[in-house]
Structure 1
Amino acid sequence: MTAPELLPRRRIAGVVAVWVVAAVVALAVGVFVDPDWRGAWLLVGFGVCFFIAFAIQLASGRSQGFIIRISASVLGALVVMGLLGAGFGLAELLAAA
């Protein structure tokens, strides 16, 4: 039998942390990478967010809801990076016109 935790850690903090990392990575890629290579580097950044999500959730030491937290982290990172990438793509189209 395991002892209950006296002060349980917040589960959402690790998920939101991955979303913030995804936003920072997408902004860095959008600003510093040539538009021709932006899609490839966004995919590399998403892979980094995937590994960061696993590292954060494994470091929390909780097994309950692990798959759900990983899924929320990765799906949120995908949405954040997708929206920022689409924004940079639209900005590139409008700048070319």
Structure 2
Amino acid sequence: MKIFISSDAMNWFHEEMEVKAGDKIRFYARYGGSSPLHDGFSIGMTMDTPIIPSVTITIENILFFIEELDEWFFDGHDLYVDLNPKADELAYAYKKA
């Protein structure tokens, strides 16, 4: 399982969340909504500090991660984070590793 962040998504993080070098962003399973992988659960994202990360990627000295306890949500899929330009919000895709 891996995390991929597009350059458009990185720009969104800088503009909307004002991330800077040293910040840490967590992707997690959130109760509510739906996703292509699970009804009743969707992906959440927040600034956080890792405890037991199972997947990490560092871009521009910003750490993106998924905690071990949220691994079930991704069901062996890689996470692709991009930007939906029409809505000016993040778009997530899941592809089997």
Per the normalisation by structure 1, the TM-score is 0.24
Higher Rg of the two aligned structures? 1
Per the normalisation by structure 2, the TM-score is 0.24
Structure (1 or 2) with the greater helix fraction: 1
